[in-house]
Chain A
Amino acid sequence: MHVDPLEKKWLYVVGGIVAFTIAVQVYYAAAKGIHPPSNVQTIDSAKLHLSKEFAENNLGVHKNTDGSLDVTMVAARYGFYPQEIEVPIDTPVRLRIASLDVLHGLLVPYSNLNLMVVPGYISEANTTFTKLGEFPMICNEYCGIGHDYMYARVRVVPKNN
């Protein structure tokens, strides 16, 4: 096996880059608890209306005793329900969402909310909105011919409104 001295140096550099990048991510995952949405919880998408959590009257924003919010939503061709939510700025939000039919996705500009909604599973993500204004909650996974029109409105309002 023939290794050129320059090649050897390059191997150290590459090893360094890879080790550093992995270390940063593992550090943030382990020490700061930064993980992608991964709660592995199943639900029968055909019977959402019979489930307690995702029944129509229970959808929307709920306030917890510690001031944080729980937002419960349903994604269905071609909309998110409720179609409009209002949340105060700088407040911890836990979003739980399930699909009634096919795959959907969800992203909200100016926030780090980005997740997949897979039929048969409940998706959950935590975030805090830090910019005032109204933003679209956009479906970002192809879900059929009407996919373009699938969006809801998120209104981020001042804190004690």
Chain B
Amino acid sequence: MSITAEEAGRLSQTQSTTASALRLGNRLGMSNLWFAFVALLLGLPMGLYQVAERSGYFPWLESSHVYFASTSTHGVLMAYVLTTFFMMGYGYHSMAHSLKIKTWSPLFSWAGFYLAVFGTALAAVMLLTGKASVMYTFYPPEMADPLFYIGAVLLVVGSWFWCIDMIAGMTQWKKQNPGKPVPLVMFGTTINALLWMWTSAGVAIEALFQLIPVSLGLKETLDPGMARTLFSWTLHAIVYVWLIPAYIAMYTLVPKLAGGKLFSDEFARIAFVMLFIFSVPIGFHHLYMDPQQAAGWKLLHMLGTFMVAVPTFLTGFTVLASLEIASRLRGGKGIFGWMLGLDWKEPMVVAGMLAMFMLTFGGFGGLINASYSLNAMIHNTQWVTGHFHLIFGGTTVIMYLAVAYWIWPKITGRQLHSKAMAVWQLWLWFIGMLVLTLPWHYIGLLWYPRRVSSTPYEHVGVVAQWGIYELMMVVGGIILVVSGVMFIYNLIRTHTNKIAEPDMTVSYAEAIHPPLKVPNILNSLSFWNWAMAAYMLISYGYPLLQFFFIGTHGAVPFGI
């Protein structure tokens, strides 16, 4: 068989467009990921400072001004900067390598990145100078410098560029490959992009119509009840936006690097779709204790809150089943004994198992938070912060770290500096998280309030019970800082590693039953987008509309 010169030309042309798509994906990926992990590195010591400062054991550290500036900065770095840039970097890489196409305009993708960087820098200056000590949740009528809100909005707008890139990429690929299922990694990524647009709309409306005009003095008052309602629209779904990249790695990388196959591709898609549809219209579980929404609406949102646990149960099942298959292929035996047969030298496997473990604990705590009635026991206590450090700092971030260990050699072409160190680092992260968060939950049950820099209450009986647990938390914090430094060190040394990475191919886990065709509803987002619009109208329509006729009185802004 011979090919004509024309065919050969076309072939080499597709090869070079593929190569340039991969190059762009790698560059966008690396820039975004480095930015994310620098935020993590800077945020970690702030966390340690916070637990130490408020413990009372280090009087020379104590300053409420520094504490609240630190907590606001730590919260913004971890919750907005690390997560947004990680999602973008991982997403650009996944799109290039799974679809093998370029973003529709490289200039546009870079513009989004730099806009987000600029917004972050603006917000950071305000935070570090103490002009934005309002916490990452904003909560007016306390007001920060307008530049803080403008910076935060630019970060979000920059990330919308990424969302458009992902959605456009998937649409283009589907046109070129009619009837074929979108690769799972891209299906999850695009769902997350669409979810982020829905999610961020709530806080964007709050910023544009309330926070920015009032902080600039263009408007005299705002309604804090409405602000809290709009923020709740964002506040729950955003945690799923952070979590979905971790789930994507669990579905598409963990089974592969464990040496096995994905148990079910279809159930992974169902889980992503459920995460999408049930995570936004349920934000009122953050308002259970608020006066501005009626009980019936809170109950309605509670139903959806429990539904969103379902995809997590599905994920746990599929990922553990995939790991079990991998272990049995390697000779693992027994009902639980197969866990020992896993490849515990592979960072992705270690992270996957530890993430599942923390998810089991954290998920249990989550059911309590979600409860219409039990919530009163823990609302705004340290239980809540303990909970989200376990499930966000623990489950979610440990997967981010494992993704980095996998992606760095693929992008740089250099072998990971030390796999053994990576495994140690992940274990330390896990241990640090447990030592930090278990006592943290407990002092919450003992009524330690959230967001205080000291506990000067004269009621010794209540206060004295907290001390020893706070000391344990300091130990947990130290372990986590050490672990974080090891992580960054390993990445930096990888860039200068002399040994080339032997396996540069990027491929994702295959399903046991590879989907030749999936129902259109699991291959397209437009139906779900409409479903979301309807569900949002039901759960947020009246609750937001009511503010225009129940006779609200605006609140004037206050400084910090």
Residues of A within 8 A of B (CB): 1-2, 4, 6-7, 10, 14-15, 17-18, 21-22, 25-26, 28-29, 34-46, 77, 101-103, 105, 107, 109-110, 112, 114-124, 133-136, 138-149, 151
Hey, which chain A residues are within 8 Å of B264, CB to CB? 2, 4, 7
Chain B residue with the shortest CB-CB distance to A18: B306
Please provide the 4 A-B residue pairs with the shortest distance between their CB atoms, ordered closest to farther: A140-B449, A44-B553, A140-B380, A109-B447
22 sampled A-B residue pairs with Cβ under 8 A: A7-B267, A21-B367, A22-B303, A22-B306, A34-B373, A36-B295, A36-B298, A44-B553, A102-B141, A105-B449, A116-B287, A116-B291, A118-B290, A120-B225, A120-B553, A121-B292, A133-B461, A136-B459, A140-B379, A141-B139, A142-B451, A148-B64
Whether A45 pairs with B553 at a CB distance below 8 angstroms is: yes
Q: Do B459 and A134 have beta carbons less than 8 Å apart?
A: yes
| Contacting residue for B554 out of A120, A133, A136, CB 8 A | A120
Most chain B CB inside 10 Å of its own CB: which residue of A4, A41, A146: A4
Tell me whether A135 and B462 are in contact in the complex, defined as CB-CB below 8 angstroms, given that A141-B139, A141-B380 are known contacts. yes
A95, chain B: closest CB distance, angstroms = 12
B375 CB–A CB distance under 8 Å: yes
Contact in complex: A151, B457 (CB < 8 Å): yes
Cβ of B187 to closest chain A Cβ, rounded Å: 16
B135 touches A142 (CB 8 A): yes
A14 touches B313 (CB 8 A): yes
Chain B, interface SS category: loop
Residues of A within 8 A of B559 (CB): 144
Q: How many residues does chain B have at the interface if contact means C-beta atoms less than 8 Å apart?
A: 76
Beta-carbon contact of A28 and B447 below 8 Å? no
The distance from the CB of B299 to the nearest CB of chain A, in whole angstroms, is 6
A121 touches B314 (CB 8 A): no
Residues from chain B with a CB closer than 8 A to the CB of A138 are: 447, 449, 457
B552 touches which of A26, A42, A77, A107 (Cβ 8 Å): A42
> In whole Å, how far is B550's beta carbon from the nearest beta carbon of chain A?
6
Docked Cα-Cα span, A109 to B463, in Å, equals 10
Known contacts A42-B553, A120-B224; A18 and B142 CB within 8 A of each other = no
Q: Do B289 and A116 touch across chains, with their CB atoms under 8 A apart?
A: yes
> Is the CB–CB distance between A41 and B299 below 8 Å?
no
Pick from A36, A45, A142: contact of B139, CB under 8 Å: A142
Q: Give the contacts of B346-401 with A (CB-CB under 8 A).
A: 367, 371-373, 375-377, 379-381
Please, what's the 1-or-0 string for B537-560, where 1 marks a CB less than 8 Å from any CB in chain A? 000000000100011111110111
Q: Which residues of chain A have C-beta atoms less than 8 A from B307's C-beta?
A: 18
Closest to A101 in B: B558
